[in-house]
Amino acid sequence: MNNYLQEDLKKAKPAEWIVRCVLASASLDLADWKTDWNIYYFDDKSDEKKYWHIGDIECTDSLLDETFYIDVKDDGMISKTGNIFAEDNKIFKSNGKKEKGFMRNSEYDYVAVISQPDNKIYMLDFKEWKKYYRQGKYVTSYLSDATCYGFVMPIWKAKRLGIIKYEIDYIKIFDWWLDDKGKKTLPIYESVKVERVAS
């Protein structure tokens, strides 16, 4: 199971990087999460085990001195299905072990569901999602390492229920950048449109 977990982390890294870039560029547009004109700092916590059920990204509000956590879910199917997937349980193929899914074993503040095929990020209020996710359709998802059981909900319904708070369009602006040590970074992304969803 640990090997699969490490592979999941490797796959997640590019999505987490995109989300951090985009949220940093959109932070002024997103200031009204807490109060107007706040500046947010986004720190990667995904390599630290104690944050795995709290969130990949630590977001600090510089004016209110508050911290909240965002987890990143890379969903390549959302552009085709128009649904968000809430994982309730999973069974690992390697050992048959059953575990609670992220809806039942995590305490995120927000979830950033990224759809790379159409360059979109949906910002979900996790507490609201936990209230309503079972109103979706029960499905089984077969992955390379596990079979996942959960519920899918159309994006329009998640917006109507107040689960999705923001929809963000983004673009890649550079294939790479030089950091302060002259080392090439990963590609750089920024937001081009931030839409607050009225529920």
pLDDT in tens, 162-192: 999 999 999 999 888 777 788 887 888 999 9
Instruction: Specify if 85 maps to a domain.
Output: no
H or E segment at 164? strand 164-174
pLDDT score at 28: 55
Instruction: Specify if 145 maps to a domain.
Output: no
pLDDT score at 26: 80
Instruction: Specify if 55 maps to a domain.
Output: yes
Instruction: Specify if 67 maps to a domain.
Output: yes
Instruction: Specify if 84 maps to a domain.
Output: no
Residues of the chain falling short of pLDDT 50: 1-10, 31, 33-36
Residues with Cβ within 8 Å of 43's Cβ and at least 6 positions away in sequence, in order, are 57, 58, 59, 60
Instruction: Specify if 35 maps to a domain.
Output: yes
pTM of the model: 0.85
pLDDT score at 179: 75
Instruction: Specify if 146 maps to a domain.
Output: no
- Cβ atoms of 42 and 58 closer than 8 Å: yes
How far apart are the C-alpha atoms of 151 and 166, rounded to whole Å?
21
Instruction: Specify if 138 maps to a domain.
Output: no
Q: Domain range spanning residue 71?
A: 2-77+104-130+155-196
Over the Cα atoms of the chain, what is R_g? 17
Domain count, the chain: 1
pLDDT score at 74: 93
- Give the distance, in angstroms, between the CA of residue 17 and the centroid of all CA atoms in the same chain: 11
pLDDT score at 4: 37
